Chains A and B, each alone.
Chain A
């Protein structure tokens, strides 16, 4: 499905915004994700065509950055910080609470396609209001289980934020119901040793423990990322990016 004409216009405008068109890749990918909710192969091909790059180059860039989705996500996206400052003030309790309320593990999407949530070890920069999370890129700080409940209730009644495409929610939900996270939550709940339950294997420990079925990870992968990094590698040697098709200009002396 081709991109909407507004998105194409936005990408074309971004092309001339920078001294070199290639610099516009990240904002162009944001434009695609804002329209579709994720980065489709066709969308990336269109970006590549407008920026005069090989499609593989745009794809290779997209897989590096954790905020791009490779698959459709729920209407509302929750990102809960579990780094030190948040953990010291109870982030794990928030994570457990959200997990029990939404009924799917970190990195997953609810059956109705309403929510995609993830606990992230990446510090969100809200340590002064720990524990904190981002909902559709907006900060929510000083969380308590009660406040989370109120927030979830409110979000449940709200439609997908304005950058949603014309796709029906049902369509997205259908695409998502079978989606499992590419790997365990990170960490699942670091205060308690992870139990062998439906939440999937604990990060990084699945290899040695037969109690946890090994997730189907692409060869050579060991980085936990929802969506974007769960794609199969291009080469069996483990490189996640396609080989460069053209020499890289101005990369400095090697």
Chain B
């Protein structure tokens, strides 16, 4: 348990972003082995056996997702989802910054398993330097014969295109990503048909997260069975957790699944800052429900956290100390979803608008108790009724915070100012 380095093993090695150094530490061995030891079918079976689940938030088993592609329909496409925009999440950026070739190798392994000849990396527009780095690495790998026609002399061909977005959280949703990649406004599509049947350009498409793909070189080299024994029965492998907020050492930590959250907080993150105590935390990024100090002993396991009423999501842990105003935090998250709503469906487009309006007035202490119930009513009219998960998740944090900190929400009503700030006078520490 505890820290276990797999994806981050070589982080910090000087020059790891170059092909030469990456190959010196064993890079592209996974691709070589995949091409020589496996057929596409046995490779998919190996990934299924590894128990690898998607690291983008939903946690869907990767091998199973790959298995949905219809046989004999070509061309097919593979998209790496590097549109990381979840509040609190920055692991994909770390994986690209520190070890870009690991991602490219994983992408090529997945492309081989899926028999894809054109793979895309969709990276968010804000990651400008990361996009340039990836483009440079792709060119380097192409010059070395790892990308392009006849990869490493295997007869398999694959091109990689790095595609930069331009600022839209919704493009992390896989069908919106596909829309954006096709050159449209990035709005989600109705499912079914799922992208595995009709995705990019109407062809079978797989969308995988950066971290998911970065795991593949290790699974190929050390075997699916080895990977599966890391972590817990249903959550195999390690995971990168992005820890931020009121902690002494914010950052990205790779630890085995199943480790208690308290261990992550105390040992990796150095505990809550300024000797304060913890008030609440968010285990899965901005979308996910708030958890309380009593949940700190939960293991970092997707199912255990789900049972506690939240989700590990994309692995972003935001810790909040005792001075935090939950109304203020809720307001910011609601603002975020209001800002990012794509406008396709009414419950989300209008719901986030009213949510944001009410939260701003609540935070300023100008809401009545009755209007507080309107807020709950709006959330109820959104959750589960939106076109895509963005609208649903826009209600999850605020509703869970309302439930857990009802007193605090009610104390704001008619107070004319934030009572928590008045009490602690230093909600935000400069």
Chain A contact residues, CB within 8 Å of chain B:
17-20, 22-27, 29-30, 51, 60-61, 64-68, 79, 82-85, 87-93, 121-130, 134, 137-139, 145, 186-187, 190-191, 193-194, 202-205, 207, 222-225, 240-241, 248-254
B93 touches A125 (CB 8 A): yes
Q: Does B286 contact A67, Cβ atoms closer than 8 Å?
A: no
Our pick among A17, A51, A93, A203 for the contact of B335 (Cβ within 8 Å) is A203
Question: Any chain A CB within 8 A of the CB of B423?
Answer: no
Of all chain B residues, which has the CB nearest A202? Answer: B360
| B1 located at the interface, meaning its Cβ lies under 8 Å from any Cβ of chain A in the complex | no
Contact status A123-B364, CB under 8 Å: no
Can you report 12 A-B residue pairs in the complex whose CB atoms are below 8 A from each other?
A26-B165, A26-B166, A82-B332, A84-B87, A85-B87, A121-B336, A130-B250, A187-B335, A205-B357, A205-B360, A225-B339, A250-B202
Q: Are B421 and A204 in contact (CB under 8 A)?
A: no
- Expressed in whole angstroms, the minimum distance between the Cβ of A230 and any Cβ of chain B is 14
Do the beta carbons of A190 and B363 come within 8 Å of each other?
yes
- In the complex, A222→B189 CA distance in Å? 23
Please provide the chain B residues from 60 to 106 with a CB less than 8 Å away from any CB of chain A in the complex.
Answer: 75, 84-90, 92-94
Does the CB pair B357–A204 fall under 8 Å?
yes
The residue on B at minimum CB distance from A23 is: B183
B338 within 8 A of A: yes
Indicate if the CB atoms of A241 and B185 lie closer than 8 Å. Answer: yes
Among B242, B341, B356, B364, point to the contact of A128 (Cβ < 8 A): B242
Q: A88-B318, A125-B93, A191-B421 are in contact. Are A19 and B88 (CB under 8 A)?
A: no
Binds A, one of B49-57, B120-128, B220-228, B402-410: B120-128
Q: What is the CA–CA distance of A64 and B180 in the complex, to the nearest angstrom?
A: 10
Cβ B164 vs Cβ A27 within 8 A = yes
Which candidate, B5-13, B257-265, B301-309, B323-331, is the interface stretch facing chain A?
A: B323-331
Q: Which of A27, A85, A252 is close to B189, meaning CB atoms less than 8 Å apart?
A: A252
**Which residues of chain B are within 8 angstroms of A138 by Cβ–Cβ distance?**
128-129
Least CB distance, B277 to chain A, in whole angstroms:
15
Most chain B beta-carbon neighbours within 10 Å: one of A27, A92, A202, A223? A223
Please give, as numbers and ranges, the residues of chain A lying within 8 Å of B154 by CB-CB distance.
none
Residues of A close to B396: CB separation below 8 A: none
Complex Cα distance A115/B46, Å? 53
| A97: nearest chain-B partner, CB-CB | B430
CA distance A60 to B202 in the complex (A): 22
Q: What class of interface size applies to chain B in its complex with A?
A: 35 or more
CB-CB nearest 8 A-B residue pairs: A65-B166, A250-B202, A137-B128, A127-B244, A67-B167, A22-B183, A66-B167, A64-B185
* Chain A neighbourhood of B243, CB < 8 A: 128
Closest to B320 in A: A88
Please list the residues of chain B having a beta carbon within 8 angstroms of any beta carbon in chain A: 75, 84-90, 92-94, 118, 124-129, 161, 163-169, 175, 179-186, 189-190, 193, 198-199, 201-202, 242-246, 250-252, 282, 286, 316, 318, 320, 324, 328-329, 331-333, 335-336, 338-343, 353, 356-357, 360-361, 363-365, 417-418, 421, 427-430
* Most chain B C-beta atoms within 10 Å of own C-beta, residue among A61, A83, A191, A240: A83
Q: Which residue of B lies closest to A24 (CB)?
A: B183
Beta-carbon contact of B339 and A121 below 8 Å: yes
Assess the B428–A92 pair: CB atoms within 8 A. yes
Decide if B357 touches A88 in the complex (CB within 8 Å): no
Cα-based distance from A138 to B131 in the complex (angstroms): 12
Would you call A90 and B126 a contact (CB within 8 A)? Answer: no
On chain A, the residues within 8 Å of B202 by CB distance are 249-252
Q: Are B251 and A19 in contact (CB under 8 A)?
A: no
| Inter-subunit contact B331/A187 (CB<8 Å) | yes
Q: Which residue of A lies closest to B184 (CB)?
A: A61
Bound form: Cα–Cα A200–B361 in Å:
17
Q: A17-B161, A123-B88 are in contact. Are A193 and B185 (CB under 8 A)?
A: no
Do B245 and A123 have beta carbons less than 8 Å apart? no
Residues from chain A with a CB closer than 8 A to the CB of B421 are 191
Task: Indicate if the CB atoms of A130 and B332 lie closer than 8 Å.
Answer: no
Q: B175 — which chain A residues lie within 8 A by C-beta?
A: 252
Q: Which residue of A lies closest to B416 (CB)?
A: A193
A18 to B418, CA, bound (A): 52
Cβ-defined contact, B336 with A122, below 8 A: yes
Give the residue of A24, A124, A127, A202 whose beta carbon is less than 8 angstroms from that of B126: A124
Query: Residue A122 contacts which of B164, B167, B190, B333 (CB distance < 8 angstroms)?
Result: B167
Q: Smallest Cβ distance from A82 to chain B, in angstroms?
A: 7
Residues of chain A with a CB closer than 8 A to B363's CB: 190, 193
Tell whether, in the assembled complex, residue B167 and residue A128 are in contact, meaning their CB atoms are under 8 Å apart.
no
Measured in the bound complex, the distance between the Cα atoms of B94 and A22 in whole Å is: 31
**In the complex where A89-B245, A250-B202 touch, is A22 in contact with B166 (Cβ < 8 A)?**
no
